[in-house]
Structure 1
Amino acid sequence: MSALICGSMAFDTIMVFQDQFKNHILPDQVHILNVSFLVPEMRRNFGGCAGNIAYNLKLLGGDGLPMGTVGVDFAPYAAWLDQHEIRRDALQEVADSYTAQAYITTDQDDNQITAFHPGAMNFAHQNRVADIAGVTIGMVSPDGRQGMIEHAEQFAAAGIPFIFDPGQGMPMFDGDDLNRFVSQASWLAFNDYEAKLMTERTGKSPQQMAREVKAVIVTRGGKGSTIYTEGKEIEIPLAPAEKLADPTGCGDAYRGGLLYGLQNGLDWEVTGRIASLMGAIKIEHTGTQNHAISRADFDARFKEVFGFAI
């Protein structure tokens, strides 16, 4: 069972400012802001929702194919995907464009200043679901606006069940857009803030949306997650992390677990716990694809945390 994961592919350049922004930004002078921060610590990570989700699904032994548009600078990322045996069949290079990238400066209070360049992501709609054979489950995650719209339409037209996961792409859509996604999707996935935005814009609570789809999954950070399905609310406990290094990408790790459970026909109680543990493993490492675990070690940790085997 092959999962086609539509979404962004991106580089994340993260710089650490060893002070506090508030010591260098004068509130009454922000209209003429001109500041420079010395950032002796910097790292570049491979990221983007499609890449992150596919990476986590691969760790579990699932079959995932990221679909996205990339730029002329993609070679290092391509080599990384090849190293980890993640297929690139559905990645299209856009000439004269850079791969999407975020430049993030973080201070000692964990405040962030981010500049995001979408680059090739703006051409996501050039990829078509029908061009990929053997797809049995799909995902529409944050990407170019038109790409998200068209990929959802294409999954629905092909009768391929898919997860709609708007994430940080939600501000691009109004209530009519979001209600249309709900009518097309088989499953919905949000964090708690996104779930509130969905309710505000569609006029529907998670419970109401769950009557239109197979399940609505809402992650709640340190409070675990809730899965609304078949008139039930299944509470998924938080998997404890050994350390809290970096929350970036935890949602994508969780979604990799969701896809694995769906691919393998597991019930929601098990699927949610697999997803929760993937998020815990990710948060123990900086970056979105720098964590690794063997399947045997994952299964052993799962049994230790939850008290039963997968």
Structure 2
Amino acid sequence: MRIAVTGSIATDHLMVFPGRFADHLLPDQLAHLSLSFLVDRLEVRRGGVAANIAFGLGGLGLTPLLVGAVGADFAEYEVWLKEHGVDTGGVRVSHERQTARFMCITDEDANQIAAFHTGAMEEAGDIDLRHLVAVDERPGLVLVSPDDPSAMLRHTAACRELDVPFAADPSQQLARLDGGQVRELVTGATWLFTNEYEAALLRERTGWSRDQVLAVVGTWITTLGAGGVRVESAGRAPLTVPAVPVAETADPTGVGDAFRAGFLAAVGHDIDARSAAHLGCALASVVLAAVGSQTYEVDTAELTRIVERAYGHGAVGPLAAVLGGRS
């Protein structure tokens, strides 16, 4: 299946604080918060939600179409993505702005404080998905991930107009969207992705109950961190897939993106949701042990061993279309 991934493309500035943020937050002074953290390490990495997901899909043998807006500083990054199986034909280059920047500090408990400068992403709303579909191979699925809100709404509307299945992944942008916009983004989605906090925020924004959300989407995928993943569909009992145990966490940045890449790679081969979640969790565990969102290599032999150790030998068979014969 051809998958188009729309959303942010960015450069990540990742810093590590050798302590706990909580130890420096004074409850009676939060209204006047002013803190500076001396960090031990700075890593400048390639990132952005859409680019991270497309990178993972490319590593798993798909050729995803990346759709987003970047600056003129994107040339080296574009070469990298092409070398890793990503079609950048849907990327718009701005002549006025630089590629978006993500700046993040992580403490020893894996808590994060971050800021995101949109840069060229402000122009993502000018991308016409209908034009891309007209000149390129029609995708079997479009993932609408965090982006300029106008772009997210425009891409969702285009999917409905073109009758192309789409997956909704509003995640970080839930804080910027109002209830009507969130309802517009998720209604009719074949897949809805959130983490546990975002799931609660989505219900608050829309005013919908869990059952009302499930009435307008095909399947709701909620990542639960160390608790694994919950898969829900209307009329069915919720399915929880445990996370893959990880001995040491190097950096949580991009872990959710890796899960989505593994999950959607399986979906692209018509694999069931339980097995897709197995692959998503396996790839997420690989990224959790690396620093940066695109510093890992997809080794399908190793992914096969991870799936087998975590979920049993029988869990490998359904994923043969993705993992079989690749190394």
> TM-score under structure 2 normalisation?
0.86
Number of residues paired by the alignment? Answer: 309
Q: Structure 2, unaligned stretches of length 5 or more?
A: 320-327
* Structure-1 residue corresponding to 2:202: 198
Query: What's the CA shift string for 1:50-89, capped at 9, x where partnerless?
Result: 0010111122222312110001211231122133232211
Identity %: 33
Cα 1:238–1:18 change in 2 (3 A) is: closer
Q: Residues of 2 paired with 1:21 and 1:199: CA distance?
A: 28
* Structure-2 residue corresponding to 1:148: 152
Contact 1:59-1:295 at 8 Å conserved across structures? no
Letter in 1 for 2:128: R
* Equivalent residue for 1:254, pick from 254, 259, 270: 259
Cα 1:228–1:75 change in 2 (3 A) is: same
Q: Residues of 1 paired with 2:119 and 2:258: CA distance?
A: 24
Q: Residues of 2 paired with 1:3 and 1:32: CA distance?
A: 43
Q: How does 1:179-194 map to 2 (within 5 A)?
A: 179-194=183-198
Cα 1:294–1:184 change in 2 (3 A) is: same
Cα 1:247–1:112 change in 2 (3 A) is: closer
| SS class of match (2:115) | strand
> How far 1:221 sits from its partner (Å)?
0.8
| SS class of match (2:216) | coil
Q: Residues of 2 paired with 1:4 and 1:19: CA distance?
A: 40
> How far 1:217 sits from its partner (Å)?
0.8
Q: Residues of 2 paired with 1:96 and 1:89: CA distance?
A: 20
Q: How does 1:14-25 map to 2 (within 5 A)?
A: 14-17=14-17
Q: Residues of 2 paired with 1:29 and 1:203: CA distance?
A: 29
Cα 1:82–1:224 change in 2 (3 A) is: same
* Structure-2 residue corresponding to 1:54: 54
Cα 1:220–1:96 change in 2 (3 A) is: same
Q: Residues of 2 paired with 1:25 and 1:272: CA distance?
A: 36
- Give the stretch that moved more between structures: 294-303 or 110-119: 110-119
Cα 1:303–1:17 change in 2 (3 A) is: closer
* Structure-1 residue corresponding to 2:120: 120
- Give the stretch that moved more between structures: 194-203 or 45-54: 194-203
Does residue 290 of structure 1 match 2:295?
A: yes
| SS class of match (2:87) | coil
Cα 1:85–1:109 change in 2 (3 A) is: closer
> How far 1:108 sits from its partner (Å)?
5.5
- Give the stretch that moved more between structures: 141-150 or 176-185: 176-185
- Give the stretch that moved more between structures: 296-305 or 252-261: 296-305
Cα 1:265–1:73 change in 2 (3 A) is: same
| SS class of match (2:89) | coil
* Structure-2 residue corresponding to 1:277: 282
Letter in 2 for 1:301: I
| SS class of match (2:164) | coil
Contact 1:17-1:107 at 8 Å conserved across structures? yes
Q: Residues of 2 paired with 1:236 and 1:25: CA distance?
A: 35
Q: Structure 1, unaligned stretches of length 5 or more?
A: none
* Structure-2 residue corresponding to 1:215: 219
* Equivalent residue for 2:232, pick from 228, 233, 237: 228
Does residue 238 of structure 1 match 2:243?
A: yes
Letter in 2 for 1:138: V
- Give the stretch that moved more between structures: 23-32 or 226-235: 23-32
Q: Residues of 2 paired with 1:272 and 1:52: CA distance?
A: 18
Does residue 43 of structure 1 match 2:43?
A: yes
Cα 1:64–1:32 change in 2 (3 A) is: closer
Does residue 175 of structure 1 match 2:179?
A: yes
Letter in 2 for 1:65: L
Cα 1:223–1:29 change in 2 (3 A) is: closer
Query: What's the CA shift string for 1:83-116, capped at 9, x where partnerless?
Result: 3232211111101101000223445565654332
RMSD: 2.4
Letter in 2 for 1:121: M
Query: What's the CA shift string for 1:170-189, capped at 9, x where partnerless?
Result: 11211111122222422211
